[in-house]
Structure 1
């Protein structure tokens, strides 16, 4: 958790989360951790933490739509890495940006040999 936050969020930033204890180490790494307890509130979770709710909803929709719910723990990192470059596929005007993102992805991610991708496959591959 902490390495991801350090890579994605500027030190000293306020990080609003729910009451899960796994976020507690953020304080020791220079982040201002604001806990928002969802139970006992008059407002819904989507009102209290709107962006968190939206991101989780979009991630669930993407996993179910793109991968039909067949995402394994062993391959989740590869799925998420692949989704970063796919987010710019929109309009034809962004083809140059898409190419740039694909090149960035190619040089910024360690190669995943075929054997490592099919190592935990439920069905025979090849």
Structure 2
């Protein structure tokens, strides 16, 4: 229907559009924002907490909007250290905002930055989703979406593109015009740096045209 000549071309254009879903200079989250990490990928036996071998670790920020959820941000990170978490917070959340986290030490530097940190510590039989309900709702929806899209077989090298698409869809979930969404995506695609096939798949030897 679109006149694409091969599966490779169609797949490449999918990832080009996913990368274009991150608008340059987009507005930061503000107000009160919940932040937490999660793993995406197939279940691993014997692995708990922040330990894993093959899953992708992501950090998620969800803006509070009354009892609901406003906009979100997501990023894949190598580990849950302060050196990985703080750049995400500073790029995603406006100074002066309230950042709601658990007691993980990786968020400790927030106390010395231009944020007000709200800490909720897990005690007793409470589930983490009770402490940070909005961000865990987003994580649950993301995992469900990945399961439906990839049947749980998440490719680590393409997690960033998956997160871009989910964030784009979520932040525009209440849009009344699907046509305007496509127009906005095309506009953003014109504003970002172009991606070649070799930049999307490092092992490829040919370019996508």
Q: Shorter-chain TM-score: what band?
A: 0.7 to 0.9
Deviation at 1:15, TM superposition (A): 0.9
Report the TM-score when normalising by structure 2: 0.47
Instruction: Find the residue that maps to 1:106 and give its secondary structure.
Output: helix
Q: Please give the alpha-carbon distance, in whole angstroms, between the structure 1 residues aligned to 2:159 and 2:173.
A: 21
Larger relative contact order (Cα-Cα within 8 Å, sequence gap ≥ 6): 2
List runs of 5+ in structure 1 lacking aligned partners: 122-126
Q: How does 1:1-126 map to 2 (within 5 A)?
A: 1-40=85-124, 43-87=126-170, 88=172, 93-119=176-202
| Aligned-pair CA distance for 1:86 | 4.0
Deviations 1:24-44 (A, max 9, x none): 22233311122211133x644
Bigger share in strand: 2
TM norm structure 1: 0.72
Q: How far has the Cα of 1:51 moved from its partner?
A: 0.6
The 1:5–1:100 alpha-carbon spacing in structure 2 relative to 1, beyond 3 Å, is: farther
Q: Deviating runs (4+, > 6 A) in structure 1? A: none
- Aligned-residue CA RMSD in angstroms? 2.9
Which structure: greater helix fraction? 1
CA contact (8 A) 1:89 1:98 kept: no
Partners of 1:90 and 1:120 in 2: CA distance:
39
Query: Residues 142 and 166 of structure 2 are in contact (CA less than 8 Å); yes or no, is this contact kept in structure 1?
Result: no
What's the counterpart of residue 58 of structure 2? none
Long gaps (5+) in structure 2: 1-84, 205-209
CA shift in 2, pair 1:65/1:105, >3 Å = farther
Q: Deviations over 1:54-112 (max 9, x none)?
A: 11111111222212222233221122223344454888x51342123313431454333
Separation in 2, partners of 1:54, 1:120: 36
Number of residue pairs aligned between Structure 1 and Structure 2: 120
